[in-house]
Structure 1
Amino acid sequence: MESKKGSTAKRKILGQNGTLNKNPDKVADNNFKNIAFFDPNDIVQVKYEMLRSAQKEGVGILKASEAYGFSRISFYKIDKVFKEHGLSGLLPKKRGPRSAHKLTVEIMEFVSGLIRQKPDIKSTEIKKEIKERFSITVHQRSIERAIKRSKKKH
């Protein structure tokens, strides 16, 4: 039988598929503490049970959200997405890229050259130059962050 915290293997799988609850200790509902079926590590199950307790058992929204480790505002957001998308709406959203994946070494060398030639060049102008030379669109803010990172390295 699994422990109340869930098996390590299951937590690993939940982590791999993006449904691991990062705050399982905040889930205070008794079912999650006493019944092995309820896993506080499974964020989809936690969200669903929070909504169910409020809508089917008449638990107040504030009390339900606190019992499942969410804020009242989060409850309303979760409820809205569940009503719009069903169970799949409870799945965490995939995160976007965490790096400037379009700004390759070649492009950053090009940007450095532009900055050396014209030290007061604006990121909007750099964006246009990148578009013209490499036929890709890079967000202005991505360019600014990449320049800032490259300055820190040197």
Structure 2
Amino acid sequence: MTQSAGKQSVLKEFRALNPRPGAVIDEDFAACPFLDPQDVVQVKYEMVRRVRVDNVSVAQATAAFGFCRQSFYAIAAALDAGGPAALVPGKPGPKGPRKLTEEVMAFVEQMKAGDAALRSQQLARAVHREFGITVHPRSVEKALARRREPRSTEVPDHR
């Protein structure tokens, strides 16, 4: 495996692989091997830096880095709020429960409190009757287990 293929693999693993590296036409990215158009975090950071430090217009920067103006302002706000780590794209997909919402889980827990012998299959049927939502019994089990887990307020150290 080549070094660039290895880096590309790592960038992809950490969701930092730029899906459109060809859109980055900034001269410095072409001239400097340190600057990598495949690294979306670096591309976003450099775009904001060009505007704020080098006094390049937002229109020029977005054109050179392959983003639209609206994206620039969202990226700049994310950088201000969370630093460079905030420039890593989030995980795709749903961000929370779609079916087993807080309201549904409160209902499930209330039923379970009234009869601890209720099985997940019975709870799933009760959810269907009450809310018209079809859920798998295993999903009910997992959701109940997550709610029983103590929530840590400590930030994990990822060194």
Taking structure 2 as the reference length, what is the TM-score of the superposition? Answer: 0.60
- Tell me the residue number matched to 2:45: 48
Deviation at residue 96 of structure 1 after TM alignment: 2.8
Question: Out of 121, 136, 139, which is 2:140 matched to?
Answer: 136
Question: Out of 128, 132, 139, which is 1:126 matched to?
Answer: 132
- Tell me the residue number matched to 2:16: 19
Question: Out of 65, 78, 87, which is 1:68 matched to?
Answer: 65
- Tell me the residue number matched to 1:34: 31
**Partner amino acid for 2:140?**
I
Deviation at residue 43 of structure 1 after TM alignment: 0.3
Over residues 25-83 of structure 1, what are the superposed CA-to-partner deviations in whole Å (9 max), with x where a residue is unaligned? 00010111111100000000000000000000000001101100000000000001111
- Tell me the residue number matched to 1:143: none
Distance (whole Å) between structure 2 residues aligned to residue 95 and residue 78 of structure 1 = 17
Deviation at residue 130 of structure 1 after TM alignment: 4.5
Q: What stretches of structure 2 of length at least 5 have no aligned partner?
A: 100-120, 142-159
SS state at 1:136 partner? helix
SS state at 1:36 partner? coil
Q: What stretches of structure 1 of length at least 5 have no aligned partner?
A: 112-121, 138-154
- Tell me the residue number matched to 2:81: 84
- Tell me the residue number matched to 2:56: 59
Kindly tell me the number of residue pairs found equivalent between the two proteins.
115
Distance (whole Å) between structure 1 residues aligned to residue 129 and residue 4 of structure 2 = 50
- Tell me the residue number matched to 2:103: none
SS state at 1:70 partner? coil
Question: For residues 135 and 67 of structure 1, do their structure 2 counterparts lie closer, same or farther at Cα, with a shift above 3 Å needed?
Answer: closer
